[in-house]
Amino acid sequence: MFKPFHSIALSGEEWVPQIEKVRLASIQDQSFQKQVDHWTTKKFGFRELSVRAYNQVLYSVFNEVTHFIERGRDGYLFEKYYRKSVCGENLISQSELELKLDSMNVLASLLADKGKKLIVLIAPNKYRFYSEKVDLECNPDQTNYGLFKAGFEKADYTVFDFIELFPKMKTEYPLMPRSGTHWSLYGAFMSATMVQDSLVRWGYAGAPLEISAFETDIHPRETDKDLHDLLNVMTFAPAEELAYPKSDYHDEKKPRILVVGDSFYETFYRNGIHSNVYHKESKHLYYNKKMFGQDRSTGQLINQHDVAIELEKSDVVMIVSNEVALGTFGWGFLTDAIDILNE
């Protein structure tokens, strides 16, 4: 179809109904008319521009944002999904907690018997990191993070708790961006350097991860503005000086890593860590549902056979989890891996 004007697609997932083949029955019960009506609301001319203009008025005039985003002080955006974990709204039972912690120790032991390591990365929570920028209005007695943190102190594996580590890190550039929900690409890189130091110490990697050069930009890039993108407004994300490091990593000794992680690990793809620092056969099991290799744009649904192969060939298993996901920590991988290693 000829389009005289190019419109920028709206960000985020959106359901667009399909119009089924017209039938007399569907006309009589009006299901066909409803499908057409729903379809036209998603496909009318200049829709993207209209939506952005409408959202811009709500944002700029009435200080309103979409239902899953919270606007804090000084223009800081927060994804409400991460609020509930800070407020203790998704607390798991003591038995569930003990089962997960015990499973982690069992998995670490089984991997150690095969000369492999288990690493856990707890991603930062923006509500905690920028707590002065938002009113939480909650003070829970317990949270999943607090419970897991106490359990990790007795762990037989290595834990990088970036909820605790980030506030202690003195850096020139933001570790979490104003307009994004994840760690900044710079923050992800700095996190990876800490992991790499351990991999070198254990003998899996040949050299530390160092910044060879970096750019700074007042215009946030990629995931550093993912929340602003989801506002679907007409203006660009607010200016913020952010760093974008580069590494000229050429050491041939690279660990083969099996990562079980959420969207926080995607930044390791974006800044080249997964493809340049880790072995080319390293895999990412996204929420333990879909497996990605070097190419983050293509993946395949996982099965027990694939997981068994990767467990056998990988040097390190790394679980990357945000705070909310602690309630479902590992997304079923712990049980799967233990069963496979016990065969």
Per-residue model confidence (pLDDT) at position 253: 93
Mean pLDDT of the 56-83 span:
82
Mean pLDDT of the 173-180 span:
96
The answer on pLDDT for 76 being more than 80 is yes
What does pTM read for this prediction?
A: 0.85
What integer best gives the mean pLDDT of the chain?
87
Interval 218-255: pLDDT, tens: 999 999 999 988 887 777 888 999 999 988 888 889 99
Interval 147-174: pLDDT, tens: 999 999 989 899 999 999 999 998 999 9
The answer on pLDDT for 42 being more than 80 is no
Q: Name the band, by pLDDT with cuts 50, 70 and 90, for residue 5.
A: very low
The answer on pLDDT for 44 being more than 60 is no
Per-residue model confidence (pLDDT) at position 2: 42
Tell which residue, 286, 233, 234, has the closest CA to residue 261. 286
Mean pLDDT of the 247-266 span:
93
Lowest mean pLDDT among 54-68, 114-128, 264-278, 294-308: 54-68
